[in-house]
Amino acid sequence: MLKKIMKGGNRKPSKSDSTDASLYGVGPPGSRNPGSGPTPNVVVNHVSRTGPYAPGPNSVAPMVPPPMGTVEPLPLFRDVPISERQNLFMRKLQICCFQLDFSDTLKSIREKEIKRQTLLELVDFIQSGSGKITEMCQEEMIKMVRINIFRCLPPASHENTGQEVTDPEEEEPYLEPSWPHLQLVYELLLRYVVSSDTDTKVAKRYIDHSFVLKLLDLFDSEDPREREYLKTILHRIYGKFMVHRPFIRKAINNIFYRFIYETERHSGIGELLEILGSIINGFALPMKEEHKLFLVRALIPLHKPKPIAIYHQQLSYCIVQFVEKDYKLADTVIRGLLKYWPLTNCQKEVLFLGELEEVLEATQSAEFQRCMVPLFRQIGRCLNSSHFQVAERALFLWNNEHIVSLIAQNRQVVLPIIFEALERNIQSHWNQAVHGLTVNVRKMFLEMDAELFDECQRQFEEKEARASEVEERREMTWKKLADVAAQRGEDDMITV
């Protein structure tokens, strides 16, 4: 059973995949202009012609109308007999195949409004279930969708400026100028996919692998509204078309590989991870080897790219889902985090510590014991970080009762590893908050096992004493060398 798409922040199901028309701002025809009534739909009255574009006796007019012709009104669905609605549906689809220039807001204003109203009525017709549309209508509808949404995306902002990819929340996103029409095309596709009248055996002929790949290509759109629709539609396709599921997972894999190892630039990684969060939630147990390989080869390496902050919440959710599904994967995940642990990026390090806490929350004692030595060596380095947020976030791990219980069960190994880091913080860390938290953690260990604490302190003091002796000997050696050099200099001056 597929779960709803999950949002990264609160770890609760998102409502973004709701099929309520109000969610997308789509209502019945004319609802966007209350009191004025809908604008009549139109059809192109083509000039008679011969050649490749000439319609045959049993065919519909060409899907892309030629530039010549006049525009005539079409009746509304409710104004024609039921027997004529399928034919009217086809004619309305032809209108929606017009390619209009949205870069100029003053150009083709009448045609744009006609197309928008026509799309609104098509959406309402599919949503209302007024009648099961024929196979030919379905084919032509998907053709119309392809003509409108499958396009070359404009160059991304970083391609023009050469700047690093930044957090989309910090700057104004690019907004697609044709969105008033594009949104309605996406809405029509969504209604078609989720409709109970849609027969998957028929629909899969048109929503095929090629269609899915082109949808995935559009996830690189910089417009967040488009990516949100794509996320919902792809999730619904995954749920309804079981035959496409392995292909969709593999195609998303390939996008991740290219992002990780080639470009490190893609606008839709977060949305793709949200879809995967829902998919992972529905994995059956025992987990297939294919899914474990996906974790190791794609999800864990997604910690490597620089712009991880943009999609980290969704990635962290997917990772934790794996551990909650199969607790034996905790060791694999933790070692993967340690492999990609940032060396110079403090903000990224804070993200890793937050994710680590969530993973440890789902970790059992046996898996904890397998990785605790390298894990607490890294945590010890974080405790001594001069960046106070890193040190503070590492100390917050001791606020988690489950993590404290794991540490208490294995204190004989953990305390000797991090004792020196705690003492260094108390002696010399510049930040008072870090100093205070370190005192609390030190006190916790003392109350946990006073004898072990005293032994660690004795060993620390012995190590400090030895280090002090080594330092004194080093200084004495340098002093002797300096004296010898000075004496030789004096002897050379006397000789001269």
pLDDT of residue 382: 97
Q: What is the pLDDT of residues 371-388, one digit of tens each?
A: 999 999 999 999 999 999
pLDDT of residue 496: 64
Burial 90-116 (b: 16+ CB within 10 A, else e): bbbbbbbbbeeebeeeeeeeeebebbb
pLDDT of residue 109: 86
pLDDT of residue 157: 63
pLDDT of residue 129: 74
Average pLDDT over the chain, rounded to an integer = 84
Greater confidence (169 vs 69) lies with: 169
pLDDT of residue 79: 86
pLDDT of residue 170: 59
Going along the chain from its start, the domains and CATH numbers come out as 14-50+58-155+170-245 (1.25.10.10)
HEC string for 399-415: HCHHHHHHHHHCHHHHH
Which of 162-166, 261-265, 459-463 bottoms out in mean pLDDT, i.e. has the lowest?
A: 162-166
Cα R_g (the chain), whole angstroms: 32
Question: Do residues 302 and 309 make contact, with C-beta atoms less than 8 angstroms apart?
Answer: no
Contacts (Cβ under 8 Å, ≥6 apart) of 15: 4, 23
pLDDT of residue 32: 36
Q: What is the pLDDT of residues 215-224, one digit of tens each?
A: 999 999 999 9
pLDDT of residue 292: 96
Asked if the model's pLDDT at residue 325 lies above 90, the reply is: yes
Greater confidence (296 vs 40) lies with: 296
pLDDT of residue 305: 95
As a whole number, mean pLDDT of residues 145-155 equals: 92
pLDDT of residue 11: 41
As a whole number, mean pLDDT of residues 391-418 equals: 97
Question: Do residues 131 and 137 make contact, with C-beta atoms less than 8 angstroms apart?
Answer: no
DSSP 13: B
As a whole number, mean pLDDT of residues 177-182 equals: 92
Distance between CA atoms of 484 and 54, rounded to whole angstroms? 104
Question: Do residues 300 and 336 make contact, with C-beta atoms less than 8 angstroms apart?
Answer: yes
Q: What is the pLDDT of residues 77-134, one digit of tens each?
A: 888 888 888 899 999 999 898 888 888 878 888 888 889 999 999 999 998 876 678 8
Asked if the model's pLDDT at residue 367 lies above 50, the reply is: yes
Asked if the model's pLDDT at residue 345 lies above 70, the reply is: yes
pLDDT of residue 357: 97
Q: What is the pLDDT of residues 427-486, one digit of tens each?
A: 999 999 999 999 999 999 999 999 999 999 999 999 989 988 898 899 999 999 998 888
| 3-state percent helix, strand, coil for the chain, nearest multiple of 5 | 65, 0, 30
Question: Do residues 100 and 182 make contact, with C-beta atoms less than 8 angstroms apart?
Answer: no
Percentage of the chain with pLDDT > 70? 82
Q: Which helix (H) or strand (E) holds 475?
A: helix 450-495
Asked if the model's pLDDT at residue 44 lies above 90, the reply is: no
Question: Do residues 438 and 426 make contact, with C-beta atoms less than 8 angstroms apart?
Answer: yes
Percentage of the chain with pLDDT > 90? 66
Task: Say how many Å lie between the first and final Cα of the chain, rounded.
Answer: 95
Asked if the model's pLDDT at residue 164 lies above 70, the reply is: no
pLDDT of residue 72: 59
Greater confidence (361 vs 23) lies with: 361
Question: Do residues 317 and 6 make contact, with C-beta atoms less than 8 angstroms apart?
Answer: yes
Distance between CA atoms of 480 and 341, rounded to whole angstroms? 44
As a whole number, mean pLDDT of residues 228-257 equals: 97
Of 338, 409, 413, give the one whose Cα is nearest residue 373: 413
pLDDT of residue 166: 55
Label residue 305 exposed, middle or buried (CB < 10 Å: 0-12, 13-18, 19+): buried
pLDDT of residue 51: 35
State the pLDDT confidence band at 28, using cuts at 50, 70 and 90.
very low
